Amino acid sequence: MVKVTCVELPDSPTLKTWNSLCEHVQECETEILVLNEMPFYPWFVLSKEFKIKIAEDAVRSHDESMSILNKLGCKHIIASRPVIEGGKLYNEAFILTEKKYTAIHAKHFLPEESGFYEDSWFSRKPPLFELFNVGQYRAGIMLCTELWFSEYARFYGKNGAHFIMVPRATKIEGLERWKVGFRYAAIVSGAYVVTSNRAGKTVDSDFAGYGCIVDPNGEILAHTSKDNSYVTLNLDLAYAVEAKKSYPRYVKEADPNI
């Protein structure tokens, strides 16, 4: 059994917000915490015009705020953050394990529409959807839009993932479709899906909130709300192991030689 927390956080969390979350994870003895995409800076990919100063400010804000995560008091924290490498901006998924930072992969599938001009801002790296360790467990990560490329969810399941983590920044519009996506990823992988999101209205967006935890058979076990920003469950990881032996997970892959 492992205690896992998902959240919905405002677009610009205050120190009070982080203190509240710290109290929650310590009271619940959270072991694994999943945050939303790039939590330490307001959503900034609002127009097609790339502005290096804004990108640098977002990177700097995350640099300066990582110490907050180290004070939350849980062993493993999973989220994403902007990084600049070789003059290019990336949205980098990471895990912080007992204050040790490990990059996982850069977001590869990038939307390009009003308020979400990510393809104009971020560069891509090769699509390295690899499992990583979360203590004694195995997990995959799908940053927001990556969830819709379900072949990677199936890949994670086939390779023994206990979890698929989904940090995101999604609007109220389309929330019902996202719920389908969470459930589908869980069903095809036989893994728990844990997702966290931004919440609340801003000048440009109305973020959906609705972090949730989905079991390996696609049941939404719990979700956050405006009145309950954090949800923690004690999950039985043996269930994710057994789920992979049942339909449709056991079905063999296509044989290209036939």
With helix as H, strand as E and coil as C, how does 116-183 read? EEHHHHCCCCCCCCCCEEECCEEEEECCHHHHHCCHHHHHHHHCCCCEEEEECCCECCCHHHHHHHHH
Nearest to 171 by CA among 5, 36, 20, 18: 36
Q: Which residues pair with 163 in a beta bridge?
A: 139, 192
pTM of the complete model beyond 0.85: yes
Residue boundaries of the structural domains of the chain: 2-243
Q: How many whole angstroms separate alpha carbon 92 and alpha carbon 82?
A: 6
Please say whether the beta carbons of 157 and 249 come within 8 A.
Answer: yes
Q: What is the mean pLDDT of each run of 10 residues along the chain (258 residues)?
A: 96 92 96 97 94 97 92 94 97 95 97 95 95 96 97 96 98 95 98 96 84 98 96 97 95 82
CA-based end-to-end distance of the chain: 42
H or E segment and range at residue 56: helix 52-70
Query: Top-level CATH class of 2-243?
Result: alpha beta
**pLDDT given at position 241:** 96
